[in-house]
């Protein structure tokens, strides 16, 4: 690669934005140059604008960067713009960036359901990025400038859920019924204002607005098939796959846990040992492509009966790997298991970085 690609982060002061900063600070492909946040932060040094809440120190390289307004003009030299914007404001900002010809990889939910926007968990469905390749190729054929585009990262709980589903579907055919009950970390609720300590200490909150609907819908897009003309994804129908989610907030800092049960359409169902073997042997395409952040072990199958646990297992493969434990037969469906994923790494900023690494490896940025 000639030189490093120039990167910017929108929403750089928030929960996801801070994680982007950590992941991009010493990245071999990307050089972090531009940071954007609200007008409350713009004009200040990053170190003064940000209430840093990560357990790793703020990298020195970003401390003196002056935070910009989230305007495309300020980011015009960026090869890639990562967005960790508050979804209440992300819509028009990301649209302006795309229309200015910029490549945006977004954590916000605003464009996930658009037909021409790939919804990507990079360890699961990187082939959906063909939609971007097709746009660029079409513009080239028509003699038009390289178009801007948005790629969306999934909801954080959905990212953890689909990771084990993908190799299972590839090996054993469709899953026609799935239930998941989540135990979600407080970092998932963001920092402004975030979950108050008085609400979450000694407590569980059995409601996360919009989360269950997102999990039930996004799973069907991520596991859907790319259309033959590579313009959109054919969503799984509710007849093909029924998904039911119940979402809870728990007093964990990082790492979403999910108790899932699933049923395969084909009979006879595989054995527990076959399921474990398929999960263990799964190597994601991003790793085969040689991407820097891709997990060497995509799915860690844990045999101890009290694992996975957020504090012990969330950082496997630097937070890009997903842990699955307690795989056993289910008396109602076929199997049940416990899945753990790092919500701000593979569930958010890390997925963004890995998507960008794939785009760079494919010369799409």
Ligand X SMILES: N[C@@H](CC(=O)OP(=O)(O)O)C(=O)O
Ligand Y SMILES: NC(=O)C1=CN([C@@H]2O[C@H](COP(=O)(O)OP(=O)(O)OC[C@H]3O[C@@H](n4cnc5c(N)ncnc54)[C@H](OP(=O)(O)O)[C@@H]3O)[C@@H](O)[C@H]2O)C=CC1
Positions in the binding site for ligand Y (CB under 6 A): 11-17, 37-38, 40-41, 70, 84-87, 89-90, 107-109, 156, 187-188, 190-192, 343-344, 347-348
Structure token digits, residue 356 = 């960008």
Alpha carbons within 13 A on the beta-carbon side of 321: 22
* Closer of 11 and 295 to ligand Y (Cβ): 11
Short-list 82, 83, 152, 159, CA closest to 115: 152
Quick check: 343 binds ligand X (CB under 6 A)? yes
* Residue 11 site contact among ligand Y, ligand X, none (CB < 5 to 8 Å, cut-off depends on kind): ligand Y
Alpha carbons within 13 A on the beta-carbon side of 358: 27
Structure token digits, residue 90 = 């992300």
Quick check: 230 binds ligand X (CB under 6 A)? no
Q: Determine the size of the site formed for ligand X (CB under 6 A).
A: 12
* DSSP conformation class of 309: -
Neighbours of 134 (CB within 10 A): 17
Q: Largest Cα–Cα distance in the chain?
A: 62
* DSSP conformation class of 53: -
Does 156 qualify as catalytic in the annotation? yes
Residue with CB nearest ligand Y? 14
* Residue 17 site contact among ligand Y, ligand X, none (CB < 5 to 8 Å, cut-off depends on kind): ligand Y
Q: How far apart are CA 53 and CA 58, in angstroms?
A: 9
Please say whether the dihedral angle defined by the alpha carbons of residues 320, 323, 122 and 258, taken in this order, is positive or negative: negative
Per-residue x/- marks for ligand X, 110-149, CB under 6 A? ----------------------------------------
Least distance in angstroms from the C-beta of 133 to ligand X: 25
Q: Which of 256, 284, 291, 342 is catalytic?
A: 256
* Residue 211 site contact among ligand X, ligand Y, none (CB < 5 to 8 Å, cut-off depends on kind): ligand X
Quick check: 220 binds ligand X (CB under 6 A)? no
Question: Which region, judged by CB under 6 A, interacts with ligand X, from 52-60, 206-214, 236-244, 277-285?
Answer: 206-214
* Closer of 14 and 164 to ligand Y (Cβ): 14
Q: Which of 78, 152, 156, 247 is catalytic?
A: 156
Residue with CB nearest ligand X? 188
* Helical spans, DSSP H, in the chain: 15-24, 46-49, 60-63, 87-99, 130-141, 156-172, 197-200, 211-222, 272-281, 285-288, 310-313, 350-361
Least distance in angstroms from the C-beta of 249 to ligand X: 7
3 state DSSP class of 332: coil
Which of 29, 41, 50, 184 touches ligand X by CB under 6 A? 184
Structure token digits, residue 34 = 């531009």
* Closer of 156 and 241 to ligand X (Cβ): 156
* Residue 214 site contact among ligand Y, ligand X, none (CB < 5 to 8 Å, cut-off depends on kind): ligand X
Does 256 qualify as catalytic in the annotation? yes
Q: How far apart are CA 330 and CA 263, in angstroms?
A: 9
Contacts of 92 (CB under 8 A, 6+ apart): none
Residue bearing tokens 């302006």: 96
Least distance in angstroms from the C-beta of 252 to ligand Y: 12
Structure token digits, residue 188 = 């998932």
Residues involved in catalysis: 156, 256
Name the residues that contact ligand X, by CB under 6 A: 87, 107, 109, 155-156, 184, 188-189, 208, 211, 214, 343
């Amino acid at each position: 690669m000639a030189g490093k690609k120039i990167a910017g982060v929108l929403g750089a002061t928030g929960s996801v934005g801070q994680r982007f900063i950590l992941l991009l600070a010493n990245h071999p492909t990307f050089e972090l140059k531009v940071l954007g946040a609200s007008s409350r932060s713009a004009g200040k040094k990053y170190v003064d604008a940000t209430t840093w809440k990560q357990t790793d120190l703020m990298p020195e390289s970003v401390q003196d960067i002056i935070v910009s307004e989230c305007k495309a003009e300020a980011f015009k030299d960026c090869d890639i713009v990562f967005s960790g914007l508050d979804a209440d404001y992300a819509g028009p900002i990301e649209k302006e960036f795309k229309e200015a010809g910029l490549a945006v990889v977004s954590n916000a939910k605003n464009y996930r359901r658009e037909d021409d926007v790939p919804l990507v968990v990079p360890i699961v469905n990187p082939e959906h990025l063909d939609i971007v390749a097709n746009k660029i190729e079409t513009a080239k054929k028509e003699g038009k400038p390289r178009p801007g585009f948005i790629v969306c990262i999934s909801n954080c709980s959905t990212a953890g859920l689909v990771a084990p589903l993908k190799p299972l579907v590839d090996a054993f055919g469709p899953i026609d019924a799935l239930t998941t009950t989540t135990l979600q970390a407080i970092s998932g609720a963001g920092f402004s204002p975030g979950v108050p300590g008085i609400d979450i200490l000694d407590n569980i909150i059995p409601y996360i607005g919009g989360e269950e609907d997102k999990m039930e819908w996004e799973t069907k897009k991520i596991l859907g098939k790319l259309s033959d003309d590579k313009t959109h994804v054919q969503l799984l129908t509710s007849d093909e796959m029924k998904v039911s989610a119940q979402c809870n907030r728990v007093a964990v800092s990082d790492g979403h846990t999910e108790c899932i049960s699933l049923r395969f359409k084909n009979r006879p169902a595989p054995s527990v040992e076959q399921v474990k073997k398929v999960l263990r042997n799964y190597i994601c395409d991003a790793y085969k492509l040689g991407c820097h952040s891709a997990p060497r072990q995509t799915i860690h199958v844990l045999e101890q009966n009290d694992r996975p646990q957020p504090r012990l297992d969330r950082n496997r493969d630097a937070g890009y790997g997903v842990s699955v434990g307690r795989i056993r037969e289910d008396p109602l469906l076929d199997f049940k298991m416990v899945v753990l994923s790092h919500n701000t790494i593979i569930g958010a900023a890390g997925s963004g970085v890995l998507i960008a690494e794939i785009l760079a490896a494919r010369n799409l940025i």
